[in-house]
């Protein structure tokens, strides 16, 4: 099971874009422009600024397309790039403003080589460390997707709400207990249980990568909150699908699912899902054809050469 592998439509569009297909790029803009603009409008003051940041995000996507390894959805990848540009926008104006993934949460931080590597490593050692960090993130992502999927299928939404609050929004135990109307001890117990399941799942995947080792021979990893939150944001395994959000707006979900989606989008305030809902509600009001045409003209020049040929 791969974490959030691309759906068929995204995989098709990605193939067209990598081949330098102009029509494919236009379709891609039409697919993602409105929800990214809706997200940006909620974080900055002016529509023009939001549009500029979205444009920069699409250009950055084209420049980094060779580094996109299809781990996590295209939507999540674009949202993360846009979040970084919004942070940089405020930083350039002398402001340090956080852009959390949830309205009541805090901004997650991911582990990077600068935090763990010494200055005297060789290039090959850096490369091996980079590969190890990537593999560690992949196994953690697999574990998160597996456990989240189990909770969803069993409709264990109470545990899923706690997992989201802790590992996605980054809420502390006490605040989450007050939010859900339960004891802080209950939050701690379920958190311990979830981390134990995730750790065991990571061990299983690590052992499958190295057949020489048994599960008992693999050291249980220390799952840090920052790593969990970074992986959760990358794959967003508990974010409702767009079809589910559509049913939510129509009020046709089952009571259990409706309650969970309401918690996700209204209580936690997932800003990515809120942007999708804004698109459903026909936001922003600017004519989409005008924005798409402007985006197309300003970004198409960064499209890879047709069929990968250099100009």
CB–CB of 224/104 below 8 Å? Answer: no
Q: Which of 237, 267, 296 is the last residue of a domain?
A: 237
Q: Decide which of 218 and 86 is more confident.
A: 86
Give bridge partners of residue 102 from the DSSP assignment. 270
Residues 85 and 121 in one domain: no
pLDDT, average across residues 260-288: 82
pLDDT score, position 255: 96
pLDDT tens per residue across span 165-216: 999 999 999 999 999 999 999 999 999 999 999 999 988 887 776 554 444 4
CB–CB of 35/276 below 8 Å? Answer: yes
pLDDT score, position 37: 92
pLDDT score, position 71: 67
pLDDT tens per residue across span 10-53: 889 999 999 999 999 999 999 999 999 999 998 997 889 999 99
pLDDT score, position 164: 95
pLDDT, average across residues 263-287: 81
Residues 224 and 118 in one domain: yes
Residues 231 and 123 in one domain: yes
pLDDT tens per residue across span 151-172: 999 999 999 999 999 999 999 9
Residues 86 and 144 in one domain: no
Domain of 66: which CATH number? 1.10.1740.10
Average pLDDT, the chain: 81
Q: How many domains does the chain have?
A: 2
Residues 199 and 120 in one domain: yes
Residues 74 and 124 in one domain: no
Residue 253 lies in a domain: no
Residue 145 lies in a domain: yes
Residues 134 and 233 in one domain: yes
pLDDT score, position 50: 92
Write the CB contacts of 101 (distance below 8 Å, at least 6 apart in sequence). 83, 107, 108, 168, 169, 233, 270, 271, 272
Q: Which of 221, 237, 253 is the last residue of a domain?
A: 237
Phi then psi dihedrals of residue 270, to 5 deg? -60, 115
Residue 250 lies in a domain: no
Residue 189 lies in a domain: yes
Residues 50 and 156 in one domain: no
pLDDT score, position 35: 92
pLDDT of 112 > 50? The answer is no
Residue 275 lies in a domain: no
Residues 88 and 115 in one domain: no
pTM score above 0.75: yes
Residue 242 lies in a domain: no
Residues 36 and 95 in one domain: yes
Residues 45 and 86 in one domain: yes
pLDDT score, position 221: 55
Give start and end residues of each alpha helix (H) in 42-171.
Answer: 47-63, 74-92, 113-116, 123-153, 157-167
8-state DSSP, 182: S
pLDDT, average across residues 126-155: 75
Residues 73 and 129 in one domain: no
Residue 304 lies in a domain: yes
pLDDT score, position 309: 53
Please give the Cα distance from 271 to 43 (Å, whole number).
10
User: Per mean pLDDT, which of 63-77, 121-135, 184-198 is the most reliable?
Assistant: 184-198
Residue 97 lies in a domain: yes
Confidence of residue 138 (pLDDT cuts 50, 70, 90): confident
What is the span of the domain harbouring residue 17?
Answer: 1-101+284-311
Contacts 24+ apart (CB under 8 A), 257-265: 257/155, 259/157, 260/157, 260/160, 260/161, 263/157, 263/161, 263/164, 264/164, 264/238, 264/239, 264/240, 265/240
């Amino acid at each position: 099971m791969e974490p959030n592998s691309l759906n068929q439509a995204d995989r098709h569009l990605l193939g067209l874009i990598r081949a330098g297909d102009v029509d494919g790029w236009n379709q891609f803009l039409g697919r993602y422009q409105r929800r990214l603009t809706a997200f940006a409008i909620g974080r900055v003051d002016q529509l023009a600024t939001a549009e500029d940041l979205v444009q920069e995000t699409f250009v950055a996507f084209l420049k980094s397309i060779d580094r996109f390894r299809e781990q996590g959805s295209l939507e999540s990848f674009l949202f993360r790039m846009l979040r970084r540009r919004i942070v940089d926008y405020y930083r350039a104006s002398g402001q340090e403003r956080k852009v959390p993934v949830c309205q009541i949460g805090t901004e997650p931080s991911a582990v990077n080589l600068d935090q763990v590597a010494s200055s005297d490593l060789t290039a090959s050692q850096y490369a091996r460390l980079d590969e190890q960090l990537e593999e560690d993130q992949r196994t953690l992502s697999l574990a998160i997707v597996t456990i989240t999927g189990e909770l969803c299928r069993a409709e264990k939404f109470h545990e899923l709400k706690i997992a989201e609050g802790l590992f996605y929004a980054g809420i502390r135990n006490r605040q989450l207990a007050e939010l859900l109307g339960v004891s802080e001890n209950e939050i701690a117990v379920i958190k311990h249980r979830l981390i134990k399941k995730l750790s065991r799942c990571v061990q299983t995947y690590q052992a499958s990568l190295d057949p020489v080792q048994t599960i008992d021979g693999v050291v249980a990893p220390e799952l840090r909150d920052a790593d969990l939150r970074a992986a959760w944001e990358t794959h967003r395994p508990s974010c409702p699908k767009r079809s589910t959000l559509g049913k939510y707006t129509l009020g046709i979900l089952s009571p259990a699912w409706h309650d969970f989606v309401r918690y996700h989008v209204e209580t936690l305030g997932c800003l990515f899902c809120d942007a999708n809902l804004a698109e459903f509600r026909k936001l922003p009001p600017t004519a989409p054809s005008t924005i798409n045409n402007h985006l197309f003209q300003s970004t198409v020049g960064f499209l890879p050469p047709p069929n990968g040929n250099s100009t």
